C-alpha cells in the first residue's frame, strides 16, 4: 500500500498544481456552475477519453492524460461546490481553495484505501479503458440522481460517485505513468 500512497500523492500533486495555477489565472469562476453543469463537464472529458481510446487520433492536440487530470479536478470542484452554501461568495481566495482541495482529496483517498482493503488492488490488473468505462457509468448514475432531485432509494449519493470517479481517474493516471 505504501507504493500506492506515494503514487496517489504524486498524481494529486500534479492535478493540484495545475488547479491552483488555473485558480490564480481565472479565480474561482467555477463557483458559478450548477452541480449538473460540473457533471456534464466531467462527462465531456470522459467521453473524449473514450473516443481517443477507440480512434487513437486527436485532432485537437490535447491528450488523454490532460483529460484525466481534468476529471480529477472537476470531481474536486463538484465536491467543493456541494459543500458551499448559497451565501458563499463566487470569488474565493486561492489559499482557501487550496485547503478545500486538500480536504476533499483526503476524504477521497481515505475512501480509496478502505475500498482497497476490501477489494485488494484490483484496479492494478484492470485496463485503463475499463477505468474510463467505470467513470462513464458513474456519470450516468450521477445524472440520474440529479434528474431525481438527489433522491435515491438504495444507492449512494452523488458525492460518493464523484469520489469514485476521482479515484478511477487517479488510477488511470498512475497506470499511465504520471508522476
Q: Which domain holds residue 116?
A: 2-176
Alpha-carbon gap, residue 111 to 128, rounded angstroms: 20
As given in the structure block, the three cell numbers for residue 141 are 448514475
What local confidence, expressed as pLDDT, does residue 117 receive? Answer: 77
What local confidence, expressed as pLDDT, does residue 38 receive? Answer: 97
Alpha-carbon gap, residue 80 to 107, rounded angstroms: 12
Alpha-carbon gap, residue 16 to 25, rounded angstroms: 14
pLDDT one-digit tens code per residue, 101-152: 999 999 999 999 888 778 888 899 999 999 999 999 999 999 999 999 878 7
Q: How many domains does the chain have?
A: 1
What is the SS3 string spanning the chain? CHHHHHHHHHHHHHHHHHHHHHHHHHCCHHHHCCHHHHHHHHHHHHHHHHHHHHHCCCCCCCCHHHHHHHHHHHHHHHHHHHHCCCCCCCCCCHHHHHHHHHHHHHHHHHHHHHHHHHHCCHHHHCCHHHHHHHHHHHHHHHHHHHHCCCCCCCCCCHHHHHHHHHHHHHHHHHHHCCC
pLDDT one-digit tens code per residue, 47-56: 999 999 998 7
Is pTM beyond 0.85? Reply is yes
pLDDT one-digit tens code per residue, 54-107: 987 777 777 899 999 999 999 999 999 999 988 899 999 999 999 999 999 999
Alpha-carbon gap, residue 28 to 26, rounded angstroms: 6
Does pLDDT of 1 surpass 70? Answer: no
Amino acid at each position: 500500500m505504501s507504493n500506492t500512497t506515494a503514487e496517489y500523492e504524486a498524481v494529486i500533486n500534479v492535478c493540484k498544481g495545475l488547479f491552483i495555477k488555473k485558480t490564480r489565472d481565472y479565480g474561482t469562476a467555477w463557483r458559478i456552475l450548477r452541480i449538473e453543469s460540473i457533471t456534464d463537464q466531467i462527462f465531456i472529458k470522459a467521453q473524449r477519453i473514450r473516443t481517443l481510446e477507440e480512434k487513437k487520433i486527436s485532432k485537437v492536440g490535447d491528450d488523454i492524460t490532460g483529460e484525466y487530470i481534468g476529471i480529477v479536478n472537476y470531481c474536486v470542484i463538484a465536491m467543493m461546490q456541494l459543500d458551499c452554501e448559497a451565501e458563499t461568495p463566487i470569488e474565493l481566495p486561492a489559499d482557501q481553495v487550496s485547503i478545500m482541495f486538500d480536504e476533499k482529496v483526503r476524504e477521497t483517498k481515505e475512501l480509496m484505501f478502505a475500498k482497497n482493503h476490501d477489494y485488494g488492488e484490483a484496479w492494478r490488473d484492470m485496463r485503463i479503458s475499463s477505468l474510463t468505462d467505470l467513470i462513464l457509468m458513474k456519470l450516468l448514475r450521477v445524472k440520474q440522481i440529479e434528474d431525481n432531485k438527489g433522491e435515491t432509494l438504495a444507492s449512494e449519493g452523488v458525492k460518493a460517485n464523484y469520489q469514485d470517479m476521482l479515484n478511477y481517474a487517479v488510477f488511470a493516471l498512475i497506470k499511465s505513468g504520471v508522476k
